[in-house]
Structures are given as C-alpha cells and as structure tokens.
Amino acid sequence: MAPTIAPVPKDLKKRFQTPRQEMPAQDPIARGKNFQEVTLGLEAEAAKLEAYRCIYCKEPECVQGCPVGIDIPGFLHEVEKGNFAEALGILKSTNLLPAICGRVCPQEEQCESLCKTGKSKGNRPVAIGRVERFLADWERAGGIAKPVEVAPPTGKKVAVVGSGPAGLACAADLAKLGHKVIVFEAFHKPGGVLVYGIPEFRLPKAIVAKEIANLEKMGVDIVCDFAVGLTATIEDLQKAFDAIFVATGAGLPYFMDLPGENLGGIYSANEYLTRVNLMGAFDPEHNDTPVVRGKNVVVVGGGNVAMDAARTALRLGAEKVRLVYRRSHDEMPAREEEIEHAEEEGIDFTLLTTPVRYLGDDKGRVVAVECRKMELGEPGPDGRRKPVEVAGSEHQFPADVVVVSIGNGPNPLVPRTTPGLETKKGKIVARDGSGRTSMKGVFAGGDIVLGAATVILAMGAGRQAAASIHEYLQTGTW
Ligand SMILES: Cc1cc2nc3c(=O)[nH]c(=O)nc-3n(C[C@H](O)[C@H](O)[C@H](O)COP(=O)(O)OP(=O)(O)OC[C@H]3O[C@@H](n4cnc5c(N)ncnc54)[C@H](O)[C@@H]3O)c2cc1C
C-alpha cells in the first residue's frame, strides 16, 4: 500500500519538542518473580501524543524500513486525531498480527531506525511499535469487533504445514479468498515460536490464542499433534490438497560439542523454553512437565533467545543467572530493550567469555562450567570483530542448570522425508516473492527458507505465498 502523504503541519517545532512517551513497565524486582507481561502499554493520551511526534515527512522512510510496508504515517495521523478504528484499519490492511508485532518486532532496527524525527538533533524516533501495540490492545479491550469478510468457497483445498507466524498469515489470507485451509502442527498447541519460544512475560499467550481463534472463525481448521514427515508425508498431502505451504521454522537447536554437554541439567534453549512456556513447567501445581530449577544458572549466548532463557530462569527462582557471551556488549545480537530489561532484573552479563567444558557429579548432573576468556580480534566476514581465546585464562563457575542458546537450524523433518524438494544447507529453496519450491504446488516460507529470522519477515513470507498460491489455484501455471 502506498504510504499516506499529508501536508506538512505548521507546528513542526512543537512536534519536535514533544518527548518520546516512555513505556510503563512492571517494577524490575517484582517482575523477576512473576511471568506477567513486563511492559504495560501506552494509555490512549500517551499514544496520541506519541503519534503527534510524527512530522509528516514527504518521503516516509519508516515505511521502507518495514518488511511488510505498513502505511505507518497513515495510521499515526489517525491516532493523533483519536480515530483509533480508522488507524487500526490502515494497520491491519498489511499487518494481520499487530498485537504480536507491536510487542516483538525489532522496531529499532527497522521502521524506527529510519524515522526522521529521530534523526533531528537530540531527538528520539517516534515509538511506532508502541503505538501499533496500543491500537491492537485497544481493539482487544473492546474498541471494535469487526468480523473479517470471507469470500464464497472456491472448492480448493490448501494444507499449511506449521502454525507459526508464516503459516498463520498464509492461512488467514487464503481463507479470506474463500479457499479451504487445514493447518497441520506437530506440537499439541498452535502458534510456533510465538507460543513455545517467546515467554509469557514478553508476549502473553492469550494474545496469540485470540489471533488463532479469529482464524478458526474464518473457517480454518487446525490439526495439532500432526508431524508432516511422520504422521503423513508431503506426498500424501499432495493427493488430498491442491497446494501446500511449508512453514516449519528453524527449531533445530545447535550445540557446541563440548566435553560434558550431555550431562543432566544442560538444555538447549528450545527445550528449556518449550518445557516452561508451552508445557507449563513454570506452574508445577497444575502441570506434570518437569524442568530443573537451578540455583546457579548459566545461559550461553547473546541473542534474544538467550535473554528469554536467562529471564525465564530468574522467574523460576534461580539465585544467580549468569549470561556467558563470547563477544562484548556492543556485538550482542539481542534487541537493546531486551538487554536493558535483563540487566534491570539482575542478570549477570559475563562478557568476552566462552564455555570450554562442563563438569558433573557422580550422578551425571552438571555442577560447573569451565570457561575461557576471549578478546576481540580482526573483523570477520560479517563485519563483527572475531573473538579470540586467551590462552591460560580458564576459570570455573558453579552451575546446576545450563541453557545453550547459540542459534537454531531449519527443521529437518520435511526436507528429509520429501524427495525432490530442493534444499540448501538444510533450508528449503523457494523463489523470492512467491515461495514456489522445486515441487509443483508446494510453497515454503518463513524461517524454514530464511533461517532463524523474525516474526514480521515470516508473516510477510506467508502473505506473499498466499497471493502466489491463489494465482496458482486460479491459473494452474507453475
Ligand atoms: C526464544 C525466541 C525468541 C524470539 N524472539 C523474537 C522477537 O522478539 N522478535 C522477532 O521478530 N522474532 C523473534 N524470534 C524469531 C521468530 O519467532 C521466528 O523468526 C518466527 O517465529 C518464524 O516463524 P515461522 O512461522 O517461520 O516458524 P515457527 O514460529 O518456528 O513455526 C513453525 C511451526 O512449525 C511446526 N513444525 C515444524 N515441523 C513440523 C512438521 N514436520 N509438521 C508439522 N508442524 C511442524 C513447529 O512445531 C512450529 O510450531 C524468536 C525466536 C525464538 C526461538
């Protein structure tokens, strides 16, 4: 959608002088002991004031910074005037999951990094994500309830494999167009990383559940506990469906292959977060899922997943959570806001340090992590300075739980069980902009194609694939 270009207002100076509205949040000490959402959202007046900080650029670069091209000035201008329903309409025409994106999108690297208000001296960008979240929360609180219009049935059936943001976005667009969609999910609950990975204190599960309920209201069927590649293959699905969209994500954890890595108490971040988030291990009174609640927890890594694991360990009652990362603070891939929140909550950042082996007791349980110091050398191919081990710097930290959060690879099940599906380094090869794979009628998108990426990119891929599937179903052209 082309962004709204409105006449430049006369009160620019006043707009520039309006400070960025701070996000209210739970007190750091209190929130470290509960799983409730950390940030509390802007009130209506604060959202209007924040939207007022937009200076009506002639060429709104924020839109270029958004992977799905949301008409950001358009919705901000409506919020400024208090027209929340109109603003929501503009937002939702390109972003189906604003309550989720407003909470977890890396806005500081996308839309907000290009905001002209933020480029003026001493100023900060418009908090676009916060206003986006405000609108979505306003809708959920009963602001409006507009049912989504669905076209008459086309008689075509599409299978969506995986129920993360890519699969959900694709399913929603196809259902709107009148196609019958069945989503197959390997886990017992739909939502992908939004449910099993990102913790409740950053993204409440009720928000994801509401989006999924809306999808079901549109006629989409969701079949859980169905692992494509085990329960049925892609070839089996081809016999029953006119097209297939594979959105199985990047849920394969990486390990470092260190001595002692298979000791009890050492988890991949995926397993740890899944047990706590999806399988309710944080609430042992109501759930049987076990998780080791350590006193001394060491989390290895420096990305969003590592922050989530460290903050989860704290909430499970750890006395000391130490995040061990081999580079310095500046190179950490996690969002600045997540790093700040983790620091405020008391997570210990042990930087320029890497684990080299794990030590166990006679029951095979981890008791300590041996680490080595690192220093930064020359920049590597990605521009980041390479960490180099400092000889003779070995030292140990006590640990009864270790969470390894060093990244994830593409889920191997579908590629492994689908002969003829082209892959590269485990990722499914799909054409840019359409998601078409090497197999006729089979599309793919999200992390299974991109590698571990972001929610908004996965959603964008799902929507592009839906448009391409629609075209294929109408024309039969591949
Ligand atoms: C802990 C964590 C925190 C993150 N934080 C952020 C963040 O703050 N902001 C952000 O933008 N991104 C974040 N990300 C990344 C983001 O969540 C992913 O990029 C996004 O979820 C990818 O979407 P997807 O639909 O491709 O895959 P997923 O969300 O991984 O969904 C794939 C689904 O497919 C299912 N599946 C897999 N194989 C099969 C099969 N064979 N049959 C049936 N179903 C199958 C899986 O169970 C899963 O439910 C985070 C990731 C993690 C792990």
Retrieve residue 314's tokens. Answer: 């704290």
Superfamily grouping for domain 11-141: Alpha-helical ferredoxin (1.10.1060.10)
Does residue 211 surpass a pLDDT of 60?
Answer: yes
CA nearest to 71, candidates 3, 162, 167: 3
Start-end of CATH 1.10.1060.10 domains in the chain:
11-141
Work out the number of other CB atoms within 10 angstroms of the CB of residue 160. 30
Pocket flag, ligand 1, residue 418 (CB < 6 Å): no
- What residue's CA is closest to ligand 1, atom 10? 454
User: What pLDDT, on a 0 to 100 scale, did the predictor assign at position 214?
Assistant: 87
Helices 165-176 and 205-217 pack at an angle, to 10 degrees, of 30
User: What pLDDT, on a 0 to 100 scale, did the predictor assign at position 24?
Assistant: 96
User: What pLDDT, on a 0 to 100 scale, did the predictor assign at position 94?
Assistant: 87
Q: What would the CATH number be for the domain defined by 255-404?
A: 3.50.50.60
Pocket flag, ligand 1, residue 249 (CB < 6 Å): yes
Q: How far is the CA of 197 from the centre of ligand 1 (A)?
A: 7
Question: CB–CB of 301/273 below 8 Å?
Answer: no
What amino acid occupies position 335? R
User: What pLDDT, on a 0 to 100 scale, did the predictor assign at position 48?
Assistant: 98
pLDDT band at 129 (very low <50, low <70, confident <90, very high): very high
Looking at the CA of residue 455, tell me the nearest atom of ligand 1.
11
Q: What would the CATH number be for the domain defined by 157-251+410-475?
A: 3.50.50.60
Helices and strands in the chain, H and E counts: 19, 18
Return phi, psi of residue 56, to 5°: 60, 55
Rg (CA), the chain: 23
Q: Whole-model pTM?
A: 0.93
Of 174-178, 213-217, 321-325, 350-354, minimum mean pLDDT range: 213-217
User: What pLDDT, on a 0 to 100 scale, did the predictor assign at position 4?
Assistant: 66
Residue that wins the pLDDT comparison between 92 and 470: 470
Does residue 10 surpass a pLDDT of 90?
Answer: no
**Rounded to whole angstroms, how far apart are CA atoms 423 and 412?**
10
**Rounded to whole angstroms, how far apart are CA atoms 249 and 220?**
20
Q: How far is the CA of 194 from the centre of ligand 1 (A)?
A: 7
Pocket flag, ligand 1, residue 312 (CB < 6 Å): no
**Rounded to whole angstroms, how far apart are CA atoms 109 and 304?**
14
pLDDT band at 227 (very low <50, low <70, confident <90, very high): very high
Q: How far is the CA of 192 from the centre of ligand 1 (A)?
A: 5
Pocket flag, ligand 1, residue 305 (CB < 6 Å): yes
Question: CB–CB of 193/249 below 8 Å?
Answer: yes
Does residue 6 surpass a pLDDT of 80?
Answer: no
Average of per-residue pLDDT values in the chain: 94
DSSP state of 149: P
Start-end of CATH 3.50.50.60 domains in the chain:
157-251+410-475, 255-404
Pocket flag, ligand 1, residue 453 (CB < 6 Å): yes
